[in-house]
Structure 1
Amino acid sequence: MDSMRSLLSTSDFLQVREHKLSNDLTVWLNEDHSQPKIFGAVVVKAGAKDSPNTGIAHYFEHMMFKGTDKIGTIDYESEKVLLDIIAEKYDALADTEDPKMRAHLQQIINDLSVRAAEYVIPNEFDRLISRFGGTKLNAGTSYDYTLYFNTFSPQYISQWAEINSERLVNPVFRLFQSELETVYEEKNMYGDTMASVAIEKLTERYFYPHPYAYPIIGSAENLKNPRLSEMRRFFEKYYVASNMGLILSGDFDTEEVLPILESTFSRIRKGKPPHRDIVALPPFEGREKVSVRIPMPFVKIMALGFRGVPANHPDQVALNIAVSLLNNSNGTGFLDKLTVDHKVMGAMAVNQSMNEAGILGLLVFPKFFFQTYAAAEKLVWKQINRIKEGDFSDEMFQSLKLEQKREYASKLEDINSRAEVMMRIFSQGKSWQDYLDEVTRIDALSREDVIEVAKKYFTENYMYVTKKTGRYPKTILPKPDYSPIIPKNSDASSAYVERLEKIPVQELKPHFLDFEKDAEVVSLRPLVTLYKTHNSVNDIFSLTLSYGVGQLELRDLDKLSAYLPFVATESMSFEVFRGKLQELGSTLTFDSTDSEFLVVVNGFDGHFTQTMALVGDFLRHAKPDDKKLRQIVDEAKVTEKSLFNSSENVADMLLEKVKFGEQSRYLTKLSFAEIKKLKGKMLLDTFSKVRSVACNLHYCGTLSTEEAARQIKLHLPLEEVSIPSNSPYIRDLMTYDKPTVFFMDMEDVAQSIIYAYMYIDPLKAKEDRPVSRLFSAYFGGDMSSLMFQEIREFRSFAYQVNARLKHPPLNRSEKPASFVMKLATQTDKMIDAMEVLENLVHDMPERPERVESVKQTIRNWVNNEYPTSRSLSLKIAGFRREGYESDPNKDYLEVIDRMTMEDILRFYKENIQDHLMIYAIVGNSKSMDMEKLSKFGQIVKVTRKDIYK
């Protein structure tokens, strides 16, 4: 595909301007005017490997949201006096082992923190980002780098640059005690994940003595003994301009932006990038045996771990192809074939490159009961040796190169995904051209290159891992006995805000969907509609067939979507059919949701006709194969064994039961006994039913509407469509007559997951929909919401805190709405967290000064979430399916602009304040006070059979 290679080097949307500011900070600028937004990020080349096992890099990332000497304070001079003493006390705490003295120091720190909070404006940084057009504010710490990023509206580029550079000049570590408790919650949350401790143990064994061996979040012992002085030294060492990068992708003018960035980000301290001595990993010596414990009986798990390559290694591209010979998106790899032929229950390859080392591994699930680890390993080695011996066709080799190039191009299509690539590439020390040149390197690869890297890396020196059934002892970080740190200035503004407000802002109106112009709409036949949008960035097409029936109507659809990738047609075997798709650079996948069944095709427009012919043959002539059902049965069995090991999964099942009763998706689904009785013909009969229901087709590509429609009508079985759709399918919500706590007991979990459900009568007034959105954002929408501040920010009572009011589609307005709140917290904080939530619900604080910022948040979301070209028509069709004739966001904003605190209060008093709260709680009863829990309602203990069929 020479055209694609030239596209990657010449298209305007792929041009990245690399520039250095006067302080040596690197800037990457990528103009793309396809969406009315900008993605902005700061990348710091410092991560967990630079503070191994301490967690400093991670909790420093948390503290970067607390403000500076100018942001987040009403009087920094007075606050600093207390913060300096707090820092000294933390250093003393880290040097103290005596429990009584530690408790005394912690109490002093708490008292000082409460006093310092009198000067704090909590969450001012987050509020400023939102006030000036920002959404999706977030950060992340990896082993190699730390990211700070968000999306924002283009007219606020000056404010964004000012705020985000200011944050890096002099960050202040305020509210540290409460934020450290939040990190404790995060640590405990990871500990409740089924395999997290096993993965930690395995990572340590694989990477030792490299710093990658230690968890990013740090050890429990180090988290108990933080040193603010070490965190300050970490900042001074690594947060220098030459060790950082600024990434912007989106709707801006490069020449206009550069002076803005120079005047703001050049304030960041100069400094030399820190020198790092890379720790070399020793080779494995023969077959090094390791076992890990996972609480999943009957299921065997095996892994083979080899030494991989770091991100900049010259063998990386060839190794990617070698791995795709084992696993690929069309399921034609050698390990894929073991799964398809049911020679093992499952097998996959992992190839991950970090900056200083790489992971190369194979994960294998032997068949239940009788297949031994040795037998499964022998099969796997046979597939590896096929690559080492060159036992693969040239057609397969070329098709995998084409697949790799398609994946490269697809990652660069839109602002968000391209910015993610830019951040990763910068963090690896590469230039943008290095990344674009990788397509040329793929083209230049020979079979011999792939054979050589397979021989080089898949050696007889490897780590052999097997699973034992069991659990590791948990280290639970308990709730400290602290007084809540509640700032008094939650609605104040710092003097810094006045500076931002003086910056001129160009007035830009939000960009709304135009149902008539944004997508061409063509009726192909009764009940069949084609939506066409143009792809202006490459020659890759996507075609989605959206049939209007989902899992809530046909309960075996999830099994159908899992089964179809394993079958072929009456005239072609699986290998031939999938091989032909792969040679064209095309993929065919399936999915099902509550209200639709999706057939998704991707490929190159130059091969559209041939791809449609293959897909049409599959839709008309898919051939049942009962042998392939064994894979579906095995997957269902693994689900049965693992589902109840995850408290998040159990909480989701319990909430479904509380909201929908016997209509819960987990009670209407096929049981395991029913799955075992399935036949291939039964599932393909269901597929025929699906194809008879009304269908929307969504094509995004370079072909004309007429040509795309002609090929689709020629090859796809649209004549089968004859039944109108019932979608969106809405289930009845449960009502209750008294407060109730549905409780599911789970041993050995540190965190409790709490859902609070409220039934809300059908909304009466037309304006209730927009105001419900405003209320939901005010109450539990983001970091500035009441729930977040009162429960997490001020009291550290929970890690996950959110709420959502969900009403039915417009054309189902007679149906009720639901309000669901969620908390995830340590069990010893659960009652406290629930009491605060109850107070918020039944006596909601009035904060009229926040209403404008909440309205601005909604405006930002509407503007910044304008869809990509591939999702435009899907969004339009989705709105139409719900009964809208135009973009509802336009009407919403017009109504919301007129709203005041009085409107929020009216909605709250009519629909929320006096309504019953029904709780769904998953936790460890041995660690909680059940008598206190009964204050929130009659406790109904739930068993597995009550929530899962």
Structure 2
Amino acid sequence: MELLEQKIICTTHVLDNGLTVWLNEDHTQPKVFGAVVVNAGAKECPNTGIAHYFEHMMFKGTDNIGTVDYEKEKVLLDCIERKYDQLAQTRDERERKDIQQEINRLNIQAAEYVIPNEFEKLISRYGGTKLNAGTSFDYTVYYNTFSPQYMEQWAEINSERLLHPVFRLFQNELETVYEEKNMYSDQIGGISVDYLKERFFSPHPYAYPVIGSTENLKNPRLSEMRKFFDDYYVASNMGLILSGDFSTSDVLPVLERTFSRIRKGSAPKMPVVSLPEFRGKEQMKLKVPMPFVKMMAMCFRGIPASHPDEVALRVALSLLNNTNGTGLLDRLTIEHKVTAAVAYNDCMNEAGILAIFVMPKLLFQSYSSAEELVWKQIACIQNGDFSDDTFQSLKLEQKREYMSALEDISSRAHVMMRLFSQKKKWEDYLKEVDRINSITKEDVMAVANRYFTKNYLHVTKSTGRYKKDNLPKPDYIPISAHHQHEKSAYAKRLEQMPVKEMSPHFADGNEVNVARRALSSNVTLYVSPNPVNDIFSLDIHYGIGRIKYPLLSQLANCLSIVGTKEESYSVFHERLRQLGSVLSFEDTDSEFIIHVSGFDSTIRETLLLVKEFMQNAKVEKRNIRQLKDEMKVAEKAFCNSNESLAQALFENVVFGANSPFLAKPSLRELGKMEGTDFESLFEEIQEYGGDVLYCGNLELGQVADMLESILHLSEIKFSRIYPAIRPKHLYTSPKVYFLDMKGVSQSIVCGYILGDLVDKPIERCASKLFSAYFGNDMSSLMFQEMREYRSYAYQVNGQYRLPSNLANEDPGYFQMCFSTQSDKTLDAIAVLDGLIKNMPLYPEQVEMAKQNICNRANNAFPSFRDLPAKVAAYHQEGFDHDPNRDLIEHIKSLNVDDVDAFYQKHIKGRPVVYMIVGNSKRIDMGKLANYGDLEKLRINDIYNK
């Protein structure tokens, strides 16, 4: 770890106001990841949802950002705040409706002073991408990536947002939060998990959902939200994290000047609520809408973060499940003794949950017999019934996972955010890695006995659904955006700040250290160095995918559970694990990929094992039975997931029989297959050329020689099949396809328009600009019209999908998606349909879309681990350089007329096909038919069961 400490340096500083700053310089990527962490989350305001919807409001601006006249706006906002306090005290429904209508009237008036989305616009204007935030039980975090030359602007804007946030457009945003809650409630087991947490964590605040109860969301108090901000958003309770391409000595004065403005103060200290011990085996029944599938959970009292047993417990759990699938619970699954068994550990700041989730075999196995098997495996750890070789190899695996998390600025910054929220220091993470070395077998046995006790919550599943809180659509008048293209005085002042000019960095030429060598006419090797640790990754990409062979998805799953002709799965993967290596498989539309990772010191031995597997993989009938059982469970989950069904519906409408959900084998077809069918397919795909991607500490020649001497990749016969094309369906008239799903709160709506060929580079760039302008950004038409102004959706997206650069005869298509409360479905479709048929043109918004595209291109420079894949991908597309270089050059020359020209040619006047997964009882189907010939589909129409 000493070498890692030298390569990854994090310095800590405390500003004059008490705010803690963690700075990690990393010049391997020309960008910076910036985050603000606030040590306050849902547990500080249990069941109210305040922490979460306050996070939403932090994007609405301040007394300087997002307004043309705050003094006049404030008068109305103060009235709105008082009205919400009045609403919370009112129970009469007629009076409540009158108050809400009055709030709506005031909201419309206040909107006359609002500059919508100005905060997001400023982030984008100054090089920002991936703007986001998140609320957990223990903390709230705000983050994004940005270009280094805008460090001063980033610090100015992100400190300004923390000084005087303004709760404007709250009524709209609260409706959006309802949509988010609806989305979670429609997810399989979403409500069930809430009930489990309530039982397990009561009386601790962790017992309540982060988003809050429906009753509390219906009665928000802006005054309480203001108090939450005043109490917890103080400097001593916050951390600033920066990781990336900057100079610490240059940045510190900037941070002192900006973030030192944040209020001093101490956050309230809440007493920690102790959880009572379970008394023996306490029983709980939990409803899950998946018939014929048994589910069980054994939930034990865990440990909070920073507990002395944390590292030892993590090692103990790796004896149950690990990345090589050689754990004691993995063995139950591999040997087909249960359908699945997985250990789970979540250490929050004040409590933890330790659980084992089990799916008994689908036929005849009882809960008690499955549980008995689990206890026997736990006893193996408690009694020390595992070899020292196994123990040492698992410690090595833990070290690899710890080190891998630090490889790029984004994942490293997320580690830092978690550490800060747990009141840890950066050095504590490095000590955890060292602590792994010192863990003894006795330590692991001790924690297994300490926490896997006979006092636990035993949860079993019953088939059913919990009642949902369906809120009726409010009768609100949408706001009007009077100043959407104006700038605040604050934004104009920012424009006067100097900016150091920096040229974009592209993943080509001298900018990247990627060596390339043709191993044969069909195989190319790409090699890049690893500057951080001694972990290698080797990915073998065979150029044939599931479009050609739909069975490849099942093959990838199958190879993950089989051994070789000479060795069982457990024995083979135990040998891999002792080397510190991992083998896995992946399929895509156009490729089948073998992923190998481990330590460079054992790469030769690892590749010899990989060769053994590639030549001698053995698929037995019991493996196919296991696949079939897993597929049965996945099918039950699929048929109860509106998101999965919406995806399958879209694929069916666009690609017909070539949809992967129809082309895949059915359960019956899978059951008829023999092991030799999979073995032959695995042998066949190894005959197709492609790319080999290596990142590690070996030189190009060393890697090439090793691959040739061990894997003989130069002997591959066939060139890759690329591009893999699926014909798209041409509709000559508008259509509406509806899949009825009872009990869901939301409708998931997709739209499809087939365009013409886009074969000129400048027009391909115009398609990206159109997408960003119409629906692929927070400043897009869809986002503003459907989410910001009308609160019809939480998630919206509209994007023109381009085929491969080499697919000259394959047209692109426009895909739109959103989810909305069932009774808002027709209203939301009407807004989208209006945008499609008569797209408004705003030159200022097009310029913002251009900026967003350039930012994404500038910030797209990959981590060292991903560099070979980036270079190989653009070579595969026919480029000899990073295509982002052309994109930025072309985008500069485009304007609103080019967006309009693309729209007129590819979108306007073309038939629109709408697809809806929703509850027909809550939608006027007659009115829905106004958008096209209505056809109802069943699951069997879109999914091969």
Same fold (TM over 0.5): yes
Does 1:947 pair with 2:942?
A: yes
Q: Which residue of 2 aligns with 1:149?
A: 143
Residue 764 of structure 1: how far off its partner (Å) = 5.0
Q: Letter of the aligned partner of 2:290 in structure 1?
A: M
In structure 1, the residue matched to 2:725 is 730
Residue 474 of structure 1 is matched in structure 2 by 468
Indicate if the aligned counterparts of 2:793 and 2:818 stay in contact, CA closer than 8 A. Answer: yes
Check whether the contact 1:624–1:680 (CA below 8 A) recurs between aligned residues. Answer: yes
Separation in 2, partners of 1:129, 1:264: 16
Q: 1:589 aligns with which of 584, 593, 606?
A: 584
**1:899 paired residue number:** 894
Residue 128, structure 1, aligned to residue 115, structure 2: no
Partner of 1:513: 507
Distance across 1 between alignment mates of 2:740 and 2:926: 15
What does the per-residue CA deviation read over 1:531-550, in whole Å, with 9 as the maximum and x for residues that have no partner? Answer: 10111110000000000011
Measure the CA separation in 2 of the matches of 1:47 and 1:253.
32
Cα distance in 2 for partners of 1:512, 1:765 equals 22
Q: Secondary structure at the match of 2:911?
A: coil
Deviations 1:890-939 (A, max 9, x none): 11211110111111111111211111111111111110111111111110
Following superposition, the deviation at residue 499 of structure 1 comes to 1.6
Instruction: Report the counterpart of residue 557 of structure 1 in structure 2.
Output: 552
Structure 1 window deviating more from structure 2 (671-680 vs 152-161): it is 671-680
- Is the contact made by 2:47 and 2:209 (CA closer than 8 Å) also made in structure 1? yes
Are the aligned partners of 1:691 and 1:720 in contact in 2 as well (CA < 8 Å)?
A: no
**Paired letter, 1:726:** I
Match among 9, 29, 34 for residue 15 of structure 1: 9
> Could you tell me how far 1:717 is from its partner in structure 2?
4.2
Q: Distance in 2 between matches of 1:641 and 1:19?
A: 52
1:218 is matched with 212
2:871 counterpart (852, 876, 880) = 876
Question: How far apart are residue 515 of structure 1 and its match?
Answer: 6.0
Q: Deviations over 1:168-224 (max 9, x none)?
A: 000000000000000011111111112111100001001000000000000000000
Q: Does 1:686 find its partner at 2:681?
A: yes
Aligned equivalents of 1:706 and 1:590: distance in 2? 26
Map of 1:607 onto structure 2 = 602
- Please tell me whether the aligned partners of residues 689 and 718 of structure 2 are also in contact (alpha carbons under 8 angstroms): yes
State how 1:428-507 maps to structure 2 within 5 Å.
428-507=422-501
Q: Shift in Å at residue 681 of structure 1?
A: 1.4
**Displacement after TM superposition at 1:273 (Å):** 2.9
1:536 equivalenced with 2:553 (yes/no): no
Distance in 2 between residues matched to 1:696 and 1:851, nearest whole Å: 38
Q: d(CA) in 1 for partners of 2:270 and 2:637? A: 42
SS in 2 for 1:474: coil
User: Could you tell me which residue of structure 2 aligns to residue 842 of structure 1?
Assistant: 837
Alignment partner of 1:312 is 2:306: yes
Give the aligned partner of residue 659 of structure 1: 654
Q: For the residues of structure 1 that align with 2:467 and 2:845, how far apart are their CA atoms?
A: 45
Q: Secondary structure at the match of 2:879?
A: coil
Check the 8 A contact 1:510/1:859 in 2, yes or no. no
Shift of 1:719: 5.2
Q: Note the alpha carbon deviations across 1:434-473, whole angstroms, 9 max, x for none.
A: 1111111110111000000111000010110100011111
* Identical residues among aligned pairs (%): 55
Aligned match of 2:641: 646
1:6 pairs with one of 2, 9, 25: 2
Q: Once the 2 structures are TM-superposed, how far is the Cα of residue 514 of structure 1 from its aligned partner? A: 1.1
Work out the CA distance in 1 between the residues paired with 2:508 and 2:3: 29
CA distance in 2, matches of 1:728, 1:538: 35
- Cα distance in structure 2, aligned partners of 1:85 and 1:177: 13
C-alpha separation between the residues in 2 aligned to 1:766 and 1:879? 14
**2:317 equivalent to 1:323:** yes
1:341 aligns with 2:335: yes
Match among 20, 25, 28 for residue 31 of structure 1? 25
- Work out the CA distance in 1 between the residues paired with 2:114 and 2:444: 59
CA offset at residue 636 of structure 1? 0.9
Query: Using the alignment, how far apart are the partners of 1:289 and 1:178 within structure 2?
Result: 42
Summarize the alignment of residues 397-416 of structure 1 with structure 2, pairs less than 5 Å apart: 397-416=391-410
Tell me if the contact between 1:515 and 1:876 (Cα under 8 Å) persists in the aligned partners: no
Choose from 537, 542, 548 the match for 2:543.
548
- Structure 1 stretch displaced more, 710-719 or 642-651: 710-719
| 1:260 and 2:254 are equivalent in the alignment | yes
Which of 159, 162, 166 is 2:160 aligned to? 166
Q: Residue type of the partner of 2:319?
A: L
Cα separation, 1, equivalents of 2:160 and 2:889 = 34
Residue 411 of structure 2 corresponds to which residue in structure 1? Answer: 417
Distance apart, 1:613 and its partner CA: 1.0
Query: How far is the alpha carbon of 1:716 from its aligned partner?
Result: 1.4
- Give CA-to-partner distance per residue, 1:493-523, whole Å, 9 cap, x none: 1000122111111111211121685421112
Shift of 1:573: 2.7
- For 2:619 and 2:94, how far apart are their aligned partners in 1? 70
**Post-superposition offset of 1:827:** 1.3
> CA offset at residue 30 of structure 1?
0.2
Q: Which residue of 1 aligns with 2:370?
A: 376
For 1:313 and 1:178, the matched residues in 2 are separated by 42
Tell me, in whole angstroms, the C-alpha distance in 2 between the residues paired with 1:181 and 1:485.
Answer: 13
Read off the aligned partner of 1:148 and give its amino acid letter. Y
Aligned mates of 1:725, 1:386 — CA distance in 2: 48
Partner of 2:823: 828
Counterpart secondary structure, 2:240: strand
Task: Measure, in 2, the Cα distance between the counterparts of 1:500 and 1:719.
Answer: 57
Check conservation: 1:241, 1:270, Cα contact below 8 A. Answer: yes
Aligned-residue offset at 1:852: 2.1
* Paired letter, 1:90: Y
Q: Secondary structure at the match of 1:810?
A: coil
CA distance in structure 2 between the aligned counterparts of 1:813 and 1:751, rounded to whole angstroms: 39
- Assess if the C-alpha contact under 8 Å between 1:810 and 1:884 holds in 2: no
Q: Which amino acid aligns with 1:134?
A: G
- Asked whether the 8 Å contact 1:154–1:252 carries over to 2, the reply is yes
In the other structure, the counterpart of 2:201 is: 207
- The CA deviation at 1:479 is 1.3
Report what 1:44 is aligned to.
38
Q: Is the Cα–Cα contact under 8 Å of residues 695 and 721 in structure 1 kept in the other structure?
A: no
Q: Aligned AA for 1:251?
A: D
Alignment length (residue pairs): 943
Of 921, 929, 944, 1:934 maps to 929
Equivalent residues of 1:519, 1:872 under 8 A apart: yes
Deviates more, 1:656-665 or 1:200-209: 656-665
The alpha carbon displacement at 1:9 in A equals 2.4
Alignment check: 8 A CA contact 1:206 1:213 kept? yes
Q: SS where residue 618 of structure 2 aligns?
A: coil
Q: Does 1:395 align with 2:395?
A: no
Report if aligned partners of 2:654, 2:728 keep a CA contact under 8 Å in 1: yes
Code of the residue aligned with 1:296 in structure 2: it is M
Verify the 8 A CA contact 2:513 2:529 in the aligned structure 1: no
Q: Which runs of 5+ in 2 are unaligned?
A: none
Q: Is the 8 A contact 1:339 1:347 kept in 2?
A: yes
* Matches of 2:167 and 2:186, distance apart in 1: 29
Deviations 1:653-678 (A, max 9, x none): 11001111122111111111111112
Question: Following the alignment from structure 1 to structure 2, what is the Cα–Cα distance between the partners of residues 229 and 150?
Answer: 29
Stretch of structure 1 that moved more, 514-523 or 695-704:
514-523
Q: Is there any run of 5+ residues in structure 1 with no aligned partner, and where?
A: none
Within 5 Å, which residues of 2 pair with 1:227-246? 227-246=221-240
Higher alpha-carbon deviation: 671-680 or 919-928: 671-680
- Counterpart secondary structure, 1:314: coil
Q: Secondary structure at the match of 1:506?
A: coil
Is the partner of 1:112 in helix, strand or coil?
A: helix
Distance (whole Å) between structure 2 residues aligned to residue 462 and residue 8 of structure 1: 40
Partner Cα separation in structure 2 for residue 567 and residue 943 of structure 1: 35
Counterpart AA for 1:282: P
TM-score (norm 1): 0.98
Match 1:101 to one of 86, 95, 108: 95
Name the SS for the 1:767 alignment partner. Answer: helix
**How far is 1:720 from its partner?**
5.1
Q: Which moved more, 1:760-769 or 1:77-86?
A: 760-769
Q: Which residue of 2 aligns with 1:716?
A: 711
